[in-house]
Protein backbone atom coordinates (compact mmCIF):
# COMPACT_ATOMS: atom_id res chain seq x y z
CA UNK A 1 0.00 0.00 0.00
CA UNK A 2 1.19 3.52 -0.69
CA UNK A 3 1.75 6.42 1.62
CA UNK A 4 0.67 10.00 0.87
CA UNK A 5 3.81 10.64 -1.17
CA UNK A 6 2.70 7.96 -3.63
CA UNK A 7 5.54 5.48 -3.00
CA UNK A 8 5.14 2.02 -1.57
CA UNK A 9 5.17 2.62 2.17
CA UNK A 10 7.34 -0.31 3.15
CA UNK A 11 9.76 -0.18 0.26
CA UNK A 12 13.30 0.29 1.40
CA UNK A 13 12.73 -1.50 4.71
CA UNK A 14 15.54 -3.89 3.87
CA UNK A 15 18.21 -1.20 3.45
CA UNK A 16 21.43 -1.19 5.42
CA UNK A 17 23.83 -3.76 6.78
CA UNK A 18 22.04 -4.15 10.09
CA UNK A 19 18.86 -5.17 8.36
CA UNK A 20 20.81 -7.39 6.00
CA UNK A 21 21.82 -9.59 8.90
CA UNK A 22 18.19 -10.33 9.62
CA UNK A 23 17.21 -11.10 6.05
CA UNK A 24 17.96 -14.80 6.37
CA UNK A 25 15.43 -15.05 9.22
CA UNK A 26 12.57 -13.56 7.16
CA UNK A 27 10.24 -16.01 5.36
CA UNK A 28 10.65 -16.06 1.58
CA UNK A 29 7.11 -14.89 0.86
CA UNK A 30 7.83 -11.68 2.76
CA UNK A 31 10.94 -10.88 0.72
CA UNK A 32 9.57 -11.99 -2.64
CA UNK A 33 11.48 -13.85 -5.32
CA UNK A 34 10.46 -16.23 -8.12
CA UNK A 35 6.76 -16.89 -7.75
CA UNK A 36 6.54 -14.81 -4.56
CA UNK A 37 5.32 -11.23 -4.03
CA UNK A 38 6.20 -9.44 -0.79
CA UNK A 39 3.37 -7.65 1.02
CA UNK A 40 5.04 -4.29 0.37
CA UNK A 41 4.54 -4.86 -3.37
CA UNK A 42 0.91 -6.00 -3.13
CA UNK A 43 -1.54 -3.30 -4.17
CA UNK A 44 -4.75 -2.88 -2.20
CA UNK A 45 -7.57 -2.67 -4.73
CA UNK A 46 -11.18 -1.58 -4.90
CA UNK A 47 -13.57 -2.70 -7.65
CA UNK A 48 -16.48 -0.62 -8.94
CA UNK A 49 -18.79 -2.67 -11.15
CA UNK A 50 -19.20 -6.42 -10.68
CA UNK A 51 -20.48 -7.47 -14.09
CA UNK A 52 -18.72 -9.51 -16.75
CA UNK A 53 -15.51 -7.44 -16.75
CA UNK A 54 -15.15 -7.37 -12.97
CA UNK A 55 -11.55 -8.02 -12.01
CA UNK A 56 -10.33 -8.41 -15.59
CA UNK A 57 -8.25 -5.22 -15.58
CA UNK A 58 -6.78 -6.02 -12.19
CA UNK A 59 -5.62 -9.37 -13.52
CA UNK A 60 -4.48 -8.05 -16.90
CA UNK A 61 -2.60 -4.94 -15.85
CA UNK A 62 -1.34 -5.93 -12.40
CA UNK A 63 -0.90 -9.70 -12.33
CA UNK A 64 -0.37 -9.80 -16.09
CA UNK A 65 2.74 -7.64 -15.67
CA UNK A 66 4.24 -9.43 -12.69
CA UNK A 67 2.51 -7.53 -9.89
CA UNK A 68 -0.03 -8.60 -7.31
CA UNK A 69 -3.11 -7.15 -5.65
CA UNK A 70 -5.55 -7.87 -2.87
CA UNK A 71 -9.16 -6.91 -3.45
CA UNK A 72 -10.57 -5.21 -0.37
CA UNK A 73 -13.85 -3.73 -1.60
CA UNK A 74 -16.40 -4.20 -4.37
CA UNK A 75 -19.39 -2.11 -5.44
CA UNK A 76 -22.41 -2.58 -7.67
CA UNK A 77 -25.99 -1.29 -7.94
CA UNK A 78 -27.19 -4.87 -8.44
CA UNK A 79 -27.29 -6.83 -5.17
CA UNK A 80 -27.30 -10.14 -7.05
CA UNK A 81 -23.98 -9.22 -8.65
CA UNK A 82 -22.60 -8.21 -5.27
CA UNK A 83 -23.51 -11.60 -3.85
CA UNK A 84 -21.70 -13.28 -6.73
CA UNK A 85 -18.68 -11.03 -6.18
CA UNK A 86 -18.48 -12.22 -2.59
CA UNK A 87 -18.36 -15.83 -3.76
CA UNK A 88 -15.86 -15.03 -6.50
CA UNK A 89 -13.41 -12.81 -4.65
CA UNK A 90 -13.72 -14.01 -1.05
CA UNK A 91 -15.52 -13.33 2.20
CA UNK A 92 -12.99 -10.68 3.22
CA UNK A 93 -14.20 -8.32 0.46
CA UNK A 94 -16.42 -5.52 1.78
CA UNK A 95 -19.49 -4.84 -0.37
CA UNK A 96 -21.02 -1.46 -1.23
CA UNK A 97 -23.87 -0.15 -3.37
CA UNK A 98 -22.46 3.40 -3.54
CA UNK A 99 -19.12 3.71 -5.37
CA UNK A 100 -18.13 6.72 -3.28
CA UNK A 101 -17.73 4.46 -0.26
CA UNK A 102 -15.00 2.57 -2.11
CA UNK A 103 -12.89 5.54 -3.16
CA UNK A 104 -13.06 7.21 0.28
CA UNK A 105 -11.32 4.24 1.93
CA UNK A 106 -7.80 5.17 3.02
CA UNK A 107 -6.50 1.61 2.70
CA UNK A 108 -7.08 1.32 -1.04
CA UNK A 109 -4.32 2.10 -3.56
CA UNK A 110 -5.91 1.27 -6.90
CA UNK A 111 -9.50 1.52 -8.11
CA UNK A 112 -10.67 -0.62 -11.02
CA UNK A 113 -13.72 0.83 -12.78
CA UNK A 114 -15.79 -1.70 -14.72
CA UNK A 115 -19.20 -0.03 -14.93
CA UNK A 116 -21.05 1.10 -18.06
CA UNK A 117 -19.25 4.11 -19.62
CA UNK A 118 -21.74 6.80 -18.60
CA UNK A 119 -20.27 6.47 -15.09
CA UNK A 120 -16.58 6.28 -16.00
CA UNK A 121 -15.73 9.99 -15.97
CA UNK A 122 -17.24 10.84 -12.59
CA UNK A 123 -15.71 7.75 -10.99
CA UNK A 124 -12.27 8.44 -12.47
CA UNK A 125 -12.38 12.04 -11.29
CA UNK A 126 -13.56 11.01 -7.82
CA UNK A 127 -10.85 8.36 -7.57
CA UNK A 128 -8.15 10.84 -8.62
CA UNK A 129 -9.34 13.37 -6.05
CA UNK A 130 -9.23 10.64 -3.39
CA UNK A 131 -5.60 9.83 -4.24
CA UNK A 132 -6.19 6.52 -6.01
CA UNK A 133 -4.46 5.21 -9.11
CA UNK A 134 -6.95 4.13 -11.74
CA UNK A 135 -7.67 1.21 -14.04
CA UNK A 136 -10.59 2.16 -16.28
CA UNK A 137 -12.46 -0.15 -18.61
CA UNK A 138 -12.95 0.93 -22.19
CA UNK A 139 -14.48 3.08 -23.56
CA UNK A 140 -12.95 5.73 -21.34
CA UNK A 141 -15.93 8.11 -21.51
CA UNK A 142 -19.35 8.67 -23.05
CA UNK A 143 -18.68 12.11 -24.58
CA UNK A 144 -15.69 14.31 -25.36
CA UNK A 145 -15.87 16.93 -22.60
CA UNK A 146 -15.90 14.17 -19.98
CA UNK A 147 -12.55 12.94 -21.24
CA UNK A 148 -10.86 16.31 -20.90
CA UNK A 149 -12.22 16.63 -17.36
CA UNK A 150 -10.72 13.23 -16.49
CA UNK A 151 -7.36 14.19 -18.01
CA UNK A 152 -7.23 17.36 -15.93
CA UNK A 153 -8.14 15.55 -12.70
CA UNK A 154 -5.63 12.73 -13.19
CA UNK A 155 -2.83 15.19 -13.91
CA UNK A 156 -3.82 17.64 -11.19
CA UNK A 157 -3.74 14.98 -8.48
CA UNK A 158 -0.69 13.16 -9.82
CA UNK A 159 -2.37 9.79 -10.31
CA UNK A 160 -1.44 6.89 -12.58
CA UNK A 161 -4.03 5.84 -15.16
CA UNK A 162 -4.33 2.86 -17.49
CA UNK A 163 -7.18 2.30 -19.92
CA UNK A 164 -8.48 -1.26 -20.27
CA UNK A 165 -6.77 -2.08 -23.54
CA UNK A 166 -3.16 -2.80 -24.36
CA UNK A 167 -2.91 -2.76 -28.16
CA UNK A 168 -0.11 -0.23 -28.15
CA UNK A 169 2.05 -2.55 -26.06
CA UNK A 170 1.85 -5.06 -28.90
CA UNK A 171 2.29 -2.43 -31.61
CA UNK A 172 5.61 -1.23 -30.21
CA UNK A 173 7.07 -4.74 -30.71
CA UNK A 174 6.78 -4.40 -34.50
CA UNK A 175 9.74 -2.88 -36.39
CA UNK A 176 7.34 -1.39 -38.93
CA UNK A 177 5.17 0.19 -36.23
CA UNK A 178 8.19 1.59 -34.44
CA UNK A 179 9.41 3.17 -37.69
CA UNK A 180 5.98 4.71 -38.33
CA UNK A 181 5.99 6.08 -34.78
CA UNK A 182 9.53 7.41 -35.04
CA UNK A 183 8.85 9.21 -38.31
CA UNK A 184 5.58 10.76 -37.11
CA UNK A 185 6.91 11.70 -33.66
CA UNK A 186 9.99 13.34 -35.18
CA UNK A 187 7.96 16.10 -36.79
CA UNK A 188 10.06 15.75 -39.95
CA UNK A 189 7.14 14.65 -42.12
CA UNK A 190 4.91 17.65 -42.71
CA UNK A 191 2.40 15.95 -45.00
CA UNK A 192 1.30 12.41 -44.14
CA UNK A 193 0.19 10.29 -47.14
CA UNK A 194 -1.21 7.41 -45.07
CA UNK A 195 -4.77 6.15 -45.39
CA UNK A 196 -5.37 3.76 -42.51
CA UNK A 197 -8.34 1.38 -42.79
CA UNK A 198 -10.02 -0.34 -39.89
CA UNK A 199 -12.16 -2.70 -41.92
CA UNK A 200 -15.05 -4.75 -40.64
CA UNK A 201 -14.09 -4.68 -36.98
CA UNK A 202 -17.18 -2.85 -35.76
CA UNK A 203 -20.43 -4.80 -35.33
CA UNK A 204 -23.37 -2.76 -36.56
CA UNK A 205 -26.71 -4.51 -37.02
CA UNK A 206 -26.38 -6.55 -33.83
CA UNK A 207 -25.58 -3.38 -31.85
CA UNK A 208 -28.84 -1.53 -32.44
CA UNK A 209 -31.05 -0.42 -29.55
CA UNK A 210 -34.77 -1.02 -29.24
CA UNK A 211 -37.01 1.89 -30.18
CA UNK A 212 -39.66 2.72 -27.53
CA UNK A 213 -39.52 -0.57 -25.60
CA UNK A 214 -42.40 -1.21 -23.24
CA UNK A 215 -41.40 -0.28 -19.65
CA UNK A 216 -40.85 -3.13 -17.22
CA UNK A 217 -40.95 -3.25 -13.39
CA UNK A 218 -37.60 -2.45 -11.83
CA UNK A 219 -36.14 -5.60 -10.21
CA UNK A 220 -36.09 -5.40 -6.42
CA UNK A 221 -32.36 -6.15 -6.34
CA UNK A 222 -31.45 -3.25 -8.69
CA UNK A 223 -31.04 0.43 -7.83
CA UNK A 224 -32.19 1.75 -11.20
CA UNK A 225 -31.88 5.42 -10.24
CA UNK A 226 -28.22 4.94 -9.28
CA UNK A 227 -27.60 2.87 -12.40
CA UNK A 228 -28.82 5.72 -14.60
CA UNK A 229 -26.79 8.17 -12.52
CA UNK A 230 -25.72 11.17 -14.63
CA UNK A 231 -27.68 9.93 -17.66
CA UNK A 232 -31.41 10.57 -18.14
CA UNK A 233 -33.73 8.59 -15.86
CA UNK A 234 -35.59 6.49 -18.46
CA UNK A 235 -38.26 3.90 -17.67
CA UNK A 236 -36.60 0.60 -16.85
CA UNK A 237 -36.25 -2.04 -19.53
CA UNK A 238 -33.97 -5.06 -19.24
CA UNK A 239 -32.41 -4.31 -22.63
CA UNK A 240 -30.97 -1.08 -21.22
CA UNK A 241 -29.23 -2.98 -18.46
CA UNK A 242 -26.34 -5.43 -18.60
CA UNK A 243 -24.38 -6.19 -21.76
CA UNK A 244 -26.90 -4.57 -24.12
CA UNK A 245 -26.54 -1.14 -22.48
CA UNK A 246 -24.04 -0.59 -25.33
CA UNK A 247 -26.90 -0.12 -27.76
CA UNK A 248 -28.15 3.17 -26.25
CA UNK A 249 -26.69 6.67 -26.50
CA UNK A 250 -27.47 7.27 -22.82
CA UNK A 251 -24.82 4.79 -21.71
CA UNK A 252 -22.32 4.12 -24.49
CA UNK A 253 -22.38 4.36 -28.30
CA UNK A 254 -22.85 0.97 -30.02
CA UNK A 255 -20.01 -0.94 -31.70
CA UNK A 256 -17.93 2.17 -32.34
CA UNK A 257 -17.67 3.08 -28.69
CA UNK A 258 -17.35 -0.55 -27.61
CA UNK A 259 -14.44 -1.45 -29.90
CA UNK A 260 -12.76 1.79 -30.98
CA UNK A 261 -10.58 2.04 -27.87
CA UNK A 262 -9.06 -1.36 -28.74
CA UNK A 263 -8.39 -0.49 -32.37
CA UNK A 264 -7.46 3.16 -31.96
CA UNK A 265 -5.08 2.56 -29.04
CA UNK A 266 -2.38 1.03 -31.29
CA UNK A 267 -3.24 3.39 -34.16
CA UNK A 268 -2.67 6.41 -31.91
CA UNK A 269 0.76 5.13 -30.91
CA UNK A 270 1.87 4.00 -34.37
CA UNK A 271 1.11 7.39 -35.90
CA UNK A 272 1.99 9.49 -32.83
CA UNK A 273 -1.53 10.92 -32.38
CA UNK A 274 -1.67 10.98 -28.58
CA UNK A 275 -1.67 14.78 -28.53
CA UNK A 276 -4.16 15.57 -31.26
CA UNK A 277 -7.41 14.57 -32.99
CA UNK A 278 -8.94 14.62 -36.49
CA UNK A 279 -10.00 17.97 -37.93
CA UNK A 280 -12.66 16.66 -40.35
CA UNK A 281 -15.21 13.88 -39.90
CA UNK A 282 -17.72 12.48 -42.39
CA UNK A 283 -19.98 9.45 -42.02
CA UNK A 284 -22.28 7.39 -44.21
CA UNK A 285 -25.33 6.41 -42.16
CA UNK A 286 -29.14 6.68 -42.22
CA UNK A 287 -30.99 9.00 -39.80
CA UNK A 288 -30.51 7.93 -36.19
CA UNK A 289 -32.97 7.53 -33.32
CA UNK A 290 -32.29 9.97 -30.43
CA UNK A 291 -32.01 7.15 -27.87
CA UNK A 292 -31.34 3.87 -29.67
CA UNK A 293 -28.10 3.39 -31.62
CA UNK A 294 -28.57 2.47 -35.28
CA UNK A 295 -26.69 1.22 -38.33
CA UNK A 296 -23.87 2.97 -40.22
CA UNK A 297 -21.51 2.03 -43.05
CA UNK A 298 -18.28 4.01 -42.73
CA UNK A 299 -16.66 7.06 -41.18
CA UNK A 300 -13.77 9.04 -42.66
CA UNK A 301 -11.61 11.12 -40.32
CA UNK A 302 -8.81 13.41 -41.51
CA UNK A 303 -5.99 14.98 -39.51
CA UNK A 304 -4.42 18.37 -40.15
CA UNK A 305 -1.34 16.79 -41.76
CA UNK A 306 -3.39 14.70 -44.19
CA UNK A 307 -3.40 11.37 -42.35
CA UNK A 308 -6.75 9.74 -43.13
CA UNK A 309 -8.45 7.17 -40.91
CA UNK A 310 -11.34 5.12 -42.27
CA UNK A 311 -13.58 3.05 -39.99
CA UNK A 312 -15.89 0.54 -41.67
CA UNK A 313 -18.84 -1.18 -40.10
CA UNK A 314 -19.78 -4.79 -40.74
CA UNK A 315 -22.75 -6.21 -42.70
CA UNK A 316 -24.46 -2.95 -43.61
CA UNK A 317 -24.25 -0.40 -46.39
CA UNK A 318 -21.63 0.38 -49.05
CA UNK A 319 -17.93 -0.05 -48.51
CA UNK A 320 -15.66 2.97 -48.51
CA UNK A 321 -13.84 3.12 -51.86
CA UNK A 322 -12.45 6.64 -52.29
CA UNK A 323 -8.74 6.10 -51.71
CA UNK A 324 -6.35 3.16 -52.11
CA UNK A 325 -5.07 1.76 -48.86
CA UNK A 326 -1.61 2.66 -47.60
CA UNK A 327 -0.63 1.89 -44.02
CA UNK A 328 3.09 2.31 -43.46
CA UNK A 329 5.76 4.99 -43.66
CA UNK A 330 9.45 4.51 -44.44
CA UNK A 331 12.44 6.89 -44.43
CA UNK A 332 11.91 7.14 -48.19
CA UNK A 333 8.93 9.41 -47.42
CA UNK A 334 11.42 12.02 -46.17
CA UNK A 335 13.90 14.18 -48.05
CA UNK A 336 17.59 13.41 -47.70
CA UNK A 337 18.27 15.96 -44.98
CA UNK A 338 15.32 14.71 -42.93
CA UNK A 339 16.44 11.09 -43.34
CA UNK A 340 19.79 12.05 -41.86
CA UNK A 341 18.11 13.74 -38.90
CA UNK A 342 15.81 10.75 -38.42
CA UNK A 343 18.73 8.32 -38.31
CA UNK A 344 20.28 10.35 -35.47
CA UNK A 345 17.14 10.17 -33.33
CA UNK A 346 16.78 7.46 -30.65
CA UNK A 347 14.33 4.64 -31.15
CA UNK A 348 11.04 4.80 -29.21
CA UNK A 349 11.42 3.87 -25.56
CA UNK A 350 9.48 0.86 -24.24
CA UNK A 351 6.06 1.72 -22.86
CA UNK A 352 5.64 1.64 -19.09
CA UNK A 353 3.24 -0.94 -17.64
CA UNK A 354 0.66 0.08 -15.07
CA UNK A 355 2.49 -1.82 -12.32
CA UNK A 356 5.74 -0.03 -13.13
CA UNK A 357 3.91 3.29 -13.31
CA UNK A 358 2.46 2.83 -9.84
CA UNK A 359 5.88 2.01 -8.42
CA UNK A 360 7.97 4.61 -10.25
CA UNK A 361 5.32 7.30 -10.84
CA UNK A 362 6.23 7.31 -14.53
CA UNK A 363 3.29 7.62 -16.92
CA UNK A 364 1.74 4.32 -17.97
CA UNK A 365 1.61 3.27 -21.61
CA UNK A 366 -2.18 3.54 -21.81
CA UNK A 367 -2.07 6.91 -20.05
CA UNK A 368 -4.97 9.28 -19.67
CA UNK A 369 -4.26 11.68 -22.55
CA UNK A 370 -3.68 8.82 -24.97
CA UNK A 371 -6.86 7.09 -23.83
CA UNK A 372 -8.85 10.29 -24.21
CA UNK A 373 -7.57 11.02 -27.71
CA UNK A 374 -8.28 7.45 -28.80
CA UNK A 375 -11.92 7.47 -27.73
CA UNK A 376 -12.46 10.97 -29.15
CA UNK A 377 -12.24 9.24 -32.54
CA UNK A 378 -15.32 7.17 -31.66
CA UNK A 379 -17.15 10.13 -30.16
CA UNK A 380 -16.57 12.29 -33.24
CA UNK A 381 -17.62 9.42 -35.48
CA UNK A 382 -20.85 8.92 -33.54
CA UNK A 383 -21.65 12.62 -33.63
CA UNK A 384 -21.27 12.61 -37.43
CA UNK A 385 -23.44 9.48 -37.64
CA UNK A 386 -26.14 10.97 -35.41
CA UNK A 387 -26.26 14.34 -37.19
CA UNK A 388 -25.76 13.11 -40.75
CA UNK A 389 -23.36 15.84 -41.83
CA UNK A 390 -19.67 16.55 -42.24
CA UNK A 391 -18.02 18.12 -39.21
CA UNK A 392 -14.93 20.28 -38.70
CA UNK A 393 -13.20 19.87 -35.35
CA UNK A 394 -10.67 21.93 -33.42
CA UNK A 395 -8.41 19.42 -31.61
CA UNK A 396 -6.95 22.12 -29.35
CA UNK A 397 -10.18 23.73 -28.15
CA UNK A 398 -11.93 20.36 -28.49
CA UNK A 399 -15.04 21.76 -30.07
CA UNK A 400 -16.81 21.39 -33.40
CA UNK A 401 -16.58 24.51 -35.52
CA UNK A 402 -19.69 26.54 -36.38
CA UNK A 403 -22.15 23.89 -35.21
CA UNK A 404 -23.94 24.51 -31.91
CA UNK A 405 -26.08 21.39 -32.23
CA UNK A 406 -23.01 19.19 -32.65
CA UNK A 407 -21.31 20.81 -29.67
CA UNK A 408 -24.25 19.81 -27.49
CA UNK A 409 -23.09 16.25 -28.12
CA UNK A 410 -19.47 17.17 -27.38
CA UNK A 411 -20.41 18.47 -23.92
CA UNK A 412 -23.65 16.84 -22.80
CA UNK A 413 -25.64 17.79 -19.71
CA UNK A 414 -25.75 15.48 -16.72
CA UNK A 415 -28.75 14.69 -14.60
CA UNK A 416 -28.80 16.44 -11.22
CA UNK A 417 -27.10 16.18 -8.82
CA UNK A 418 -24.26 14.81 -10.93
CA UNK A 419 -21.92 17.16 -12.75
CA UNK A 420 -18.31 17.36 -13.96
Give tens-digit pLDDT for 117-143: 999 999 999 999 999 999 999 999 999
Question: Could you read off the pLDDT of 277-312 as tens digits, one per residue?
Answer: 999 999 999 999 999 999 999 999 999 999 999 999
Look at residue 198 and give its three-state secondary structure.
Answer: strand
Residue 337 neighbours by CB distance under 10 Å: 9
> From CA 171, how far away is CA 369, in angstroms rounded?
18
Domain segments of the chain as ranges: 17-166, 169-345+366-410
Q: DSSP secondary-structure letter at 118? A: G
> From CA 312, how far away is CA 204, in angstroms rounded?
10
> Could you tell me where the beta strands, DSSP code E, fall in 49-107?
68-75, 94-96
Q: Please tell me the predicted confidence (pLDDT) of residue 52.
A: 87
> From CA 373, how far away is CA 118, in angstroms rounded?
17
Give Cα separations from 19 to 10, 24, 369 (angstroms). 14, 10, 42
Share of the chain above pLDDT 70, in %: 90
> From CA 132, how far away is CA 126, in angstroms rounded?
9
> From CA 407, how far away is CA 285, in angstroms rounded?
19
Residue 17 neighbours by CB distance under 10 Å: 6
Per mean pLDDT, which range of 1-15, 159-173, 233-247 is the poorest?
1-15
Is the CATH number 3.40.50.720 carried by domain 17-166? yes
Q: How far apart are the first and last CA of the chain?
A: 29
Q: Where on the phi/psi map is residue 6: left (φ > 0), alpha (ψ -120 to 50), or beta? A: left
CA proximity to 172, closest of 309, 266, 259, 62: 266
Residue 355 neighbours by CB distance under 10 Å: 23
Q: Which CATH number is associated with domain 169-345+366-410?
A: 3.30.360
> From CA 263, how far away is CA 207, in angstroms rounded?
17
> Identical fold at 17-166 and 169-345+366-410?
no
- The residues facing 280 across adjacent strands are 302, 392
Question: Could you read off the pLDDT of 303-326 as tens digits, one per residue?
Answer: 999 999 999 998 898 989 888 888
Amino acid sequence: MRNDAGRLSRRGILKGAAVGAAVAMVPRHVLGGPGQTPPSETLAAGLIGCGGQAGEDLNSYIKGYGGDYKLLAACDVDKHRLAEAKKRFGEHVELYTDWRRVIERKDIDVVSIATPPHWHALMCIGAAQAGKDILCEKPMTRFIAEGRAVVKAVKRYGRMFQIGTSGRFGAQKSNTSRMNHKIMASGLLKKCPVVFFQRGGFPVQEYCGRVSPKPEPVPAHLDWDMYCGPSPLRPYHSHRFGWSHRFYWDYEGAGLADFAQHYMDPFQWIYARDGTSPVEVEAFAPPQHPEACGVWAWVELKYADGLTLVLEGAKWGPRYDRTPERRDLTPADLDEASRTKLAALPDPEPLVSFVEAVKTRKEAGGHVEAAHRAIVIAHLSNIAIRLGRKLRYDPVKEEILDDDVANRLVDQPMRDPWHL
